Amino acid sequence: MNYNGNGSYGQYVYGQTPPTVYTTMISHQTDIFTYPQNLQHALDLIQQALSGETEDRMFYTWLLEQAPSKEDQEIITGIRNDEIGHFALFNQLYYEITGMSPQQITGEPFTPPENYCAGLARALLGEQNAVRKYRQILYAMQFRVHINIMTEIITDEIRHGILYNYLYSKNNCGAFQ
């Protein structure tokens, strides 16, 4: 494979439209890869990420209360602290892009899971869904600092998913399903 732009994928110059086969594949969807068309969708996703703050804090409090060991509590506390940092970063990002503070939108009310394992499963799926949404925000970023912020958040979410998977396995959650 040749990485100078003339490899098996043909010549491609940064900033050009990807090959026709690729663009026609997604033409029936909103183009999540093209700026500035994808910017409003990204701003909407940032607002969604910010809207769940109250529910998220209640969820983490509940999960910490259910955690059966000090190790579980330490891991969940670390994840919670990262998420609080993400909230601040999303606020910063929104403000820097729009020049306005994001609207305060109320998220869904907190409903406790059936048990600790169900909470871990919910958290794991939540992290996976967050990565999917946050990639779409990343695609709309134009400035290196904003790209770095989104990369930080996304890689944290992936790491959180791995940690929740560890807790799920460690607590034999799959054995009771």
Domains annotated for the chain, with CATH where assigned, are: 34-172 (1.20.1260.10)
Q: Which structure tokens are listed for 81? A: 């602290």
- Looking at residue 83, the DSSP 8-state letter turns out to be H
Q: Which amino acid is at 156?
A: D
- HSE at residue 139, side-chain half, CA atoms within 13 A, is 19
Q: Whole-angstrom Cα distance, residue 135 to residue 36?
A: 16
- Which carries the bigger pLDDT value, residue 21 or residue 43? 43
The arithmetic mean of pLDDT across residues 126-149, rounded, is: 96
In this structure, of 26-40, 52-66, 131-145, the range with the lowest mean pLDDT score is 26-40
pLDDT tens track for 37-70: 899 999 999 999 998 777 888 999 999 999 999 9
What pLDDT digit, counting tens, does each position of 72-109 carry?
Answer: 999 999 999 999 999 999 999 999 999 999 988 776 78
Mean pLDDT of 31-42: 86
